[in-house]
């Protein structure tokens, strides 16, 4: 806490609740099953690990601040113009850049009630008023978002699929949202889980970015590409937004090891296909096992499921039971969903262990 005579931050800074990440350790347990941070089920791609090790000799050198080779590799992989890509120290870095560049005192940032918490942190840091809009069945509601737009609105941030709910808006709904927004409002489509989506009406954001000047799509290497520890995200954006981001980002915001490992991860044969197939199969299977145990499961398009225990007490009890089994999942009190737990889809054995523990909890309390 700051003393009354000492340096003081802007007052809105002290309204920010620090981001709480997923736990990694349990006292007294050697091997925890960490299903609390939506990291990919298969660890880091072998090629990425080798690239990271190879780079060890070169870490005295500054990285390429423009991440040229990586942007070319992303462009080639996704069929995008590398000049319209900016890389960041995780996509969180990109969200900060956008919130600080387009928001600020006197402006508003719109997100949804159970939207990804980084938007609220970045918006408050920028000095914007953060407006949380009601959802419908834990899904973003386009009409409610459009109704919340005011002359002060500068940003609308939407994770699609959303974390932690797993819900998704189809392409027609996103198109309707884009059409309804004033031209000077930036729509940030956070597609961190794009590779896991199986719904046919999904569009991560490229066509919406291409359709005008006010949509940005962000992506990450932290989820399906298995590089959360290296911190690497990227944005695909219109030229005007790219220009802004290149002015404000830290000149060396992505490090050399992350750049090399990410290029290797993009080129890992079959990695995305294998991970997606595993995720789809086990998302269904774990969902069915938990439903069988009497737990309500919200439909998810991500690499996690939101398990609904109806009351905070039951969710806390389930979490304590999982912890006693050495399993870490994510409590949802910070997302205004204290009656829920978010469970990452891990390996087959990890999913079986979660199902066994929660089935036991539901039977014996
Ligand atoms: C995990 C996640 C990200 C990724 O953040 P990084 O900073 O790239 O690790 C972004 N958005 C959402 C909604 C997420 O769940």
Same structural domain for residues 148 and 93? yes
Residue range 9-25: average pLDDT? 88
Residue range 164-187: average pLDDT? 98
Q: Give the integer Cα–Cα distance in Å for 315 and 340.
A: 6
The token pair that represents 155 in the structure block: 């940003």
Atom number of ligand 1 nearest to Cα 92: 7
Give 29's pLDDT tier (boundaries 50, 70, 90).
confident
Say whether pLDDT at 264 is over 70: yes
The pLDDT value recorded for residue 75 is 98
- Residues of the chain with pLDDT > 90, as a percent, come to 93
Mean pLDDT (the chain, rounded) = 96
Residue range 168-188: average pLDDT? 98
Q: Which residues line ligand 1 (CB under 6 A)?
A: 38, 90-92, 116, 159, 163, 190, 192, 220, 222-223, 228, 233
Could you tell me which residue, 363 or 2, shows the higher pLDDT?
A: 363
Residue 35 resides in a domain: no
Same structural domain for residues 209 and 276? no
Matching residue, tokens 């959360």: 228
Q: Which of these three, 215, 250, 266, is where a domain ends?
A: 266
Mutate to test the pocket of ligand 1, among 158, 220, 233 (most ligand atoms within 8 A of CB): 220
Residue range 132-147: average pLDDT? 98
Residue range 242-255: average pLDDT? 98
The pLDDT value recorded for residue 116 is 97
Domain of residue 295, CATH code: 3.90.1150.10
pLDDT tens digit string along 158-171?
999 999 999 999 99
Residue range 335-361: average pLDDT? 98
Residue 221 resides in a domain: yes
| Domain extent at residue 62 | 46-266
The pLDDT value recorded for residue 26 is 85
Give 1's pLDDT tier (boundaries 50, 70, 90).
low
For ligand 1, the distance from its centroid to the CA atom of residue 139, given in whole angstroms, is 18
Same structural domain for residues 129 and 210? yes
pLDDT tens digit string along 205-215?
999 999 999 99
pLDDT tens digit string along 295-326?
999 999 999 999 999 999 999 999 999 999 99
The residue nearest atom 7 of ligand 1, judged by CA position, is 90
Say whether pLDDT at 31 is over 90: no
Mutate to test the pocket of ligand 1, among 20, 92, 168, 334 (most ligand atoms within 8 A of CB): 92
Same structural domain for residues 322 and 250? no
Say whether pLDDT at 25 is over 90: no
For ligand 1, the distance from its centroid to the CA atom of residue 363, given in whole angstroms, is 35
Say whether pLDDT at 2 is over 60: no
Q: Give the integer Cα–Cα distance in Å for 347 and 33.
A: 10
Same structural domain for residues 246 and 278? no
Q: What is the 3-state secondary structure (H, E, C) of the chain?
A: CCCCCCCCCCHHHHHCCCCCCCCCCCCCCCCCEECCCCCCCCCCCHHHHHHHHHHHHHCCCCCCCCCHHHHHHHHHHHCCCHHHEEEECCHHHHHHHHHHHHCCCCCEEEEECCCCCHHHHHHHHHCCEEEEECCECCECCHHHHHHHCCCCEEEEEEECCCCCCCCCCCHHHHHHHHHHCCCCCEEEEECCCHHHCCCCCCCCCHHHHHCCCCEEEEEECCCCCCCHHHCCEEEECCHHHHHHHHHHCCCCCCCHHHHHHHHHHHCCCCHHHHHHHHHHHHHHHHHHHHHHCCCEEECCCCCEEEEECCCHHHHHHHHHHHHHCCEECEECHHHCCCCEEEEECCCHHHHHHHHHHHHHHHHHC
Say whether pLDDT at 344 is over 70: yes
For ligand 1, the distance from its centroid to the CA atom of residue 92, given in whole angstroms, is 6
Same structural domain for residues 233 and 345? no
Q: Which of these three, 221, 249, 266, is where a domain ends?
A: 266
How distant, in Å, are the alpha carbons of 102, 146, 199, 292 from that of 185? 9, 11, 28, 45
Atom number of ligand 1 nearest to Cα 222: 9
For ligand 1, the distance from its centroid to the CA atom of residue 194, given in whole angstroms, is 11
Query: What domain count does the chain have?
Result: 2
Say whether pLDDT at 363 is over 80: yes
The pLDDT value recorded for residue 195 is 98
Mutate to test the pocket of ligand 1, among 38, 86, 87, 118 (most ligand atoms within 8 A of CB): 118
Atom number of ligand 1 nearest to Cα 233: 8
The pLDDT value recorded for residue 165 is 98
Atom number of ligand 1 nearest to Cα 221: 8
For ligand 1, the distance from its centroid to the CA atom of residue 298, given in whole angstroms, is 20
């Amino acid at each position: 806490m700051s003393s009354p005579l000492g340096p003081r931050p802007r007052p809105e800074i002290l309204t920010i609740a620090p981001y709480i990440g997923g736990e990694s350790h349990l006292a007294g347990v050697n091997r925890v099953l960490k299903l609390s941070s939506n990291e990919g089920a298969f660890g880091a791609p072998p090629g990425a690990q080798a690239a990271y090790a190879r780079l060890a000799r070169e870490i005295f050198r500054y990285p390429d601040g423009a991440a040229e080779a990586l942007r070319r590799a992303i462009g080639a992989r996704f069929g995008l113009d590398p000049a319209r890509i900016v890389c960041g120290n995780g996509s969180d870095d990109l969200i900060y850049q956008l919130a600080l560049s387009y928001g600020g005192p006197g402006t508003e940032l719109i997100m949804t009630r159970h939207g990804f918490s980084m938007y609220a942190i970045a918006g408050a840091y920028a000095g914007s008023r953060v407006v949380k809009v009601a959802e419908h069945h834990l899904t973003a509601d386009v009409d409610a978002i459009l109704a919340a737009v005011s002359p002060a609105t500068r940003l609308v941030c939407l994770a699609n699929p959303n974390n932690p709910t797993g819900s998704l808006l189809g392409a027609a709904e996103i198109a309707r949202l884009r059409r309804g927004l004033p031209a000077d409002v930036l729509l940030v489509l956070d597609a961190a889980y794009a590779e896991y989506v199986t719904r046919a009406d999904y569009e991560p954001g490229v066509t919406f970015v291409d359709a005008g000047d006010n949509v940005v799509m962000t992506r990450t290497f932290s989820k399906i590409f298995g590089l959360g520890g290296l911190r690497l995200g990227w944005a695909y954006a219109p030229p005007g937004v790219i220009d802004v981001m290149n002015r404000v980002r830290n000149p060396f915001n992505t490090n050399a090891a992350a750049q090399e490992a990410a290029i290797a991860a993009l080129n890992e044969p079959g990695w995305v296909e294998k991970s997606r197939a595993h995720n789809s199969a086990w998302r269904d299977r774990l969902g069915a096992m938990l439903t069988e145990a009497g737990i309500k499961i919200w439909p998810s398009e991500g690499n996690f499921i939101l398990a609904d225990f109806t009351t905070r007490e039951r969710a806390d009890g389930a979490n304590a039971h999982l912890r006693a089994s050495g399993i870490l999942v994510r409590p949802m009190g910070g997302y205004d969903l204290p009656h829920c737990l978010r469970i990452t889809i891990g390996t087959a054995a990890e999913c079986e262990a979660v199902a066994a523990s929660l089935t036991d909890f539901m039977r014996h309390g």
